[in-house]
């Protein structure tokens, strides 16, 4: 049971990933599918950030710092890149949803499968 | 186009959001923040204006060719500074020790000094221009494409 | 009906695997940090910046930031190309 308290950020990552996967598999509305992908990307970003924590460390900057025990700076840089790529992917997915609605006037993933000639 | 309370509060709040975004961009190499974070804060002011005033009124002031030019200038500034240190290697920090942004602090906690960082400080401005113009143009295009059929063209 | 049972069983299996991995990981707060210790010790004399995260994003790993700026520019170009307004269709 102490593993549940000590590893609480990793358990939260697993819960968010399960919620994102459940939404992506079972929902039929297209906007809800995009939301499920976004929740899964948030779970991965949280995992990257929580891998680089050192107990008792401060923010990794030397301006008015209180010591030299800091958290690791490299996972924070990788998470910045991942967030920006998530924004780009969400923008392109929502553009495709707008185009599907414009051509077939449906927002259901099952009904908009026929490609009209 | 929302009600008059929303429009008045937007007119009051938008300069404060823009100044805070500029502050986060400019102090990227001294403390937390930087080009991407400050660019996102700056673009949220554009999102506020689009939500409060509607895309018809904003389209006359934020034109799409101007946003394209700003985004390209930001990306070229960032890539051009990377080619600047090509004497030794790609992405070499050639401004450390020079009179522009060239103070070298010693190891340990220091006081704040904005003239440090080398080539990081102009790269922050280039990336911020790229992010602001890109996010603003994406939001404007999506708002224009999802109008209802009854609105005027 | 069988499709729903199959979907539910697969989701429960994936959830159990994720929780088992989350509980069996290395304790939170003790990462292996040989590379980051070197970066924290040498940032101020090699790059001259007072912030370790800005130095890592633009100097120690600047190539990743170049790829990220390209991805953002490509997304902007893709959206602008897909949502053009044509003169011969309405709306």
Residue C66 and residue B90 in contact, taking contact as beta carbons nearer than 8 Å: no
Burial code of C62-81, b = ≥16 C-beta within 10 A, e = fewer? beebeebbeebbebbebbbe
Q: Which residues of C touch B (CB under 8 A)?
A: 41, 44-51, 53-55, 57-59, 62-63, 65-66, 69, 72-73, 75-76, 79-80, 83, 85, 90-91
Domain ranges of chain C: 51-84
Which pLDDT belongs to residue C91? 45
Q: Indicate the DSSP class of residue B83.
A: G
Binding partners of B (≥3 Cβ pairs within 8 A): A, C
Cβ contacts (< 8 Å) between C72 and chain B: which residues?
A: 130-131, 134
Which pLDDT belongs to residue C90? 47
Give the span between the Cα atoms of B88 and B97, in whole angstroms. 16
Count of A–C CB contacts within 8 Å?
122
**What confidence tens digit (pLDDT) does each residue in C5-17 have?**
999 999 999 999 9
Give the span between the Cα atoms of C40 and A61, in whole angstroms. 9
Contact B151/C at CB under 8 A: no
The helix/strand/coil state of B116 is strand
Q: Which residues pair with B116 in a beta bridge?
A: B103
Cβ contacts (< 8 Å) between B124 and chain C: which residues?
A: 54, 58
Angle at A90 between CA B72 and CA C87, to 5 degrees: 65
Interface touch B109/A66, C-beta < 8 Å = yes
Give the span between the Cα atoms of B118 and C58, in whole angstroms. 11
Binding partners of C (≥3 Cβ pairs within 8 A): A, B
Q: pLDDT over 90 for what percent of chain A? A: 59
Prediction ipTM score: 0.86
DSSP string across A90-114: HHHHHHHHHHHHHHH---BTTGGG-
- Using left for φ > 0, alpha for ψ between -120 and 50, and beta otherwise, residue B43 falls in alpha
Distance from CA of B81 to the nearest CA of C (A): 11
**What confidence tens digit (pLDDT) does each residue in C75-91 have?**
999 999 999 876 544 44
Give the span between the Cα atoms of C33 and B127, in whole angstroms. 29
Give the span between the Cα atoms of C43 and A23, in whole angstroms. 43
- Residue from B141, B144, B149, B152 whose CB has the most chain C CBs within 10 Å, to mutate: B141
pTM: 0.90
Give the span between the Cα atoms of C15 and A21, in whole angstroms. 9
Interface touch B30/C51, C-beta < 8 Å = yes
Q: pLDDT over 70 for what percent of chain A? A: 94
Provide the pLDDT confidence category of residue B48 given band limits of 50, 70 and 90: very high
**What confidence tens digit (pLDDT) does each residue in C11-61 have?**
999 999 999 999 988 888 888 889 999 999 998 888 888 899 999 999 999
Q: What structural domains and CATH numbers belong to chain A? A: 10-52+72-110 (1.10.287.3510)
Residue of chain C whose Cα is closest to the Cα of A56: C29
Closest CA to B30 of A97, C28, A73, C55: C55
Contact B120/C at CB under 8 A: yes
Interface touch B82/C51, C-beta < 8 Å = no
């Amino acid at each position: 049971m102490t593993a549940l308290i000590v590893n609480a950020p990793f358990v939260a990552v697993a819960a968010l990933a399960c919620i994102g996967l459940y939404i992506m598999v079972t929902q039929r509305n297209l906007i809800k599918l995009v939301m499920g992908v976004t929740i899964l990307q948030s779970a991965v970003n949280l995992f990257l950030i929580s891998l680089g924590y050192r107990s008792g460390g401060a923010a990794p900057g030397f301006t008015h710092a209180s010591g030299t025990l800091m958290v690791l700076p490299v996972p924070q840089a990788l998470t910045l890149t991942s967030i920006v790529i998530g924004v780009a992917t969400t923008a392109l997915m929502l553009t495709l949803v707008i185009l599907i609605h414009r051509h077939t006037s449906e927002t259901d993933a099952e009904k908009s499968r026929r490609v009209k000639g | 186009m929302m009600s008059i309370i929303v429009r008045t509060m937007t007119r009051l709040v938008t300069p404060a959001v823009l100044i805070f975004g500029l502050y986060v961009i400019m102090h990227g190499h001294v403390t937390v923040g930087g080009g991407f974070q400050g660019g996102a804060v700056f673009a949220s002011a554009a999102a506020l204006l689009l939500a409060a005033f509607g895309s018809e009124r904003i389209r006359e002031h934020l034109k799409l060719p101007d946003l394209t030019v700003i985004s390209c200038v930001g990306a070229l500034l960032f890539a051009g500074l990377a080619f600047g240190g090509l004497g030794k290697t790609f992405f070499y920090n050639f401004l450390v020790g020079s009179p522009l942004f060239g103070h070298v602090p010693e190891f340990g906690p220091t006081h704040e000094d904005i003239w440090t960082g080398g080539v990081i400080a102009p790269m922050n401005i280039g990336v911020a221009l790229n992010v602001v113009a890109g996010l603003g143009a994406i939001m404007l295009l999506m708002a224009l494409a999802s109008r209802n059929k009854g609105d005027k063209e | 009906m069988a499709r729903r049972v199959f979907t539910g069983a697969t989701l429960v299996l994936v959830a159990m695997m994720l929780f088992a991995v989350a509980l069996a990981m290395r304790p939170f707060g003790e990462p292996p940090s040989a590379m980051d210790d070197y970066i924290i010790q040498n940032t101020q004399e090699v790059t001259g910046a007072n912030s370790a995260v800005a130095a890592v994003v633009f100097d120690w790993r600047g190539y990743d930031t170049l790829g990220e700026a390209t991805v953002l520019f490509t997304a902007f170009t893709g959206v602008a190309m897909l949502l053009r307004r044509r003169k011969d269709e309405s709306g």
